Amino acid sequence: MTTIAIIGAGWRAEFYIRIALLMPERFEIVGVVARKEEVRSSLAQEYGVKTFSSISQLLNHKKPDYAVSSVSWDSNPGVVEELVKAGVHVLCETPPAPTVETLQKMWSAVGASGMVQVAEQYLFLPGHASRLAITRSGTIGEASSVEISSTHGYHAVSIMRGFLQPGFEPTTITTRQFEAPLVNPLSRDGWNNDLSPQLAKTTISLIDFGLGKSGIYNFVDNQWHNQLRHRRIVVRGSKGEIVDDAVIRLTDGPAITTSRIERYQLGYDLNLDGFDTEHLSFDGKVVFKNPFTGLRFMDEEIAIALQMVQMADWIAGNANPPYPLNEGCQDQLISLAMDESISSGQKVTTQKQIWAN
């Protein structure tokens, strides 16, 4: 049993609360920290969790095995530092800090502790985890470029870096933005009342990681929720490429062959095992197996739950770290350079930072 605390009470923090409560054999929530009394009251009523107004109040009650920091960008470095000083491991939300200067300060304060991981969940999503397993198996040879059009900033950078493994070298970014009319039917809160086209920004970045590795970033405002824009990923390698769920590659023969990543979904037709993802397979081999079948998690919840479990196992010495702080810092460094390239209209090259080790 792993004891956890959640610092913060926003939309993202509630994912961790719900997931932990659905896995009582793995997690015990010792408390949730929220500043506002009415928020604490609402959380206690809805989820039955203990709530506290400060980290110190929480720690006086009980010290958890680890804490999830799910607060604002500006607040996160201070929260993480306070927890580490108290000897608590931290799974901190993305990004770790809002600016290059605060990233550097945060690393100087807690980097050497080795107690901080980042809740960057995208590579834990079943689809991306399957593509990553296929890539790392050598199926498409050496990966050299990734094109991603699905999520924004540091999340997209994390996906690119996960496939390409470029390390922490200087990276050159050229970014441009364009506007065009687009209907925006859905948001986080559901259907919008206004279905008339509005101007939406498209952000395109060319990212040179060095060593022949590159990325193309293409993001439209609200692309997470706007179902009028497809999510796309292309991973190119020396022997083939992955485009979404399609894989083309050179095989022995020689021959060029194509295959697909297939999802086995429970709950369709006469399958009465509940609506759930069971596994994803490629060429007859399982490349991702959902360890939480029966809980009916959506992909995002599967990814978050996987990180939560791996965090617990890592602290216990039984797993690799889920997503080290220096990786999250590098993701945000490149994302900030993308923003700088937009505002300046020039290419921007990052410098090697203190967390590059």
**pLDDT at residue 322, as a whole number:** 97
**pLDDT tens by residue, 67-111:** 999 999 999 999 999 999 999 999 998 999 999 999 999 999 999
How far is the C-alpha of 185 from the C-alpha of 166, rounded, in Å?
Answer: 37
β-strand partners of 66: 4, 89
**Predicted structure pTM score:** 0.95
**pLDDT tens by residue, 20-63:** 999 999 999 999 999 999 999 999 999 999 999 999 999 999 99
Extents of the domains making up the chain: 2-119, 123-295
Q: What angle do CA 72, 73, 75 make, to 5 degrees?
A: 65
The radius of gyration of the chain from alpha carbons, rounded to an integer in Å, stands at: 21
Fold (CATH) for 123-295: Dihydrodipicolinate Reductase; domain 2 (3.30.360)
- Work out the mean pLDDT of the chain and round it to a whole number: 96
Fold (CATH) for 2-119: Rossmann fold (3.40.50)
**pLDDT at residue 189, as a whole number:** 85
**pLDDT at residue 185, as a whole number:** 93
Q: What is the mean pLDDT of residues 123-151?
A: 98
Amino acid at 355: W
**pLDDT tens by residue, 163-181:** 999 999 999 999 999 999 9
- Peptide bond just before 95 cis, omega within 30 deg: yes
**pLDDT tens by residue, 246-279:** 999 999 989 999 999 999 999 988 888 889 999 9
Is the per-residue pLDDT at 357 higher than 80?
no
The total of other beta-carbon atoms located within 10 Å of residue 220's CB is 21
How far is the C-alpha of 58 from the C-alpha of 75, rounded, in Å?
Answer: 17
For residue 185 the two structure tokens come to 């039917």
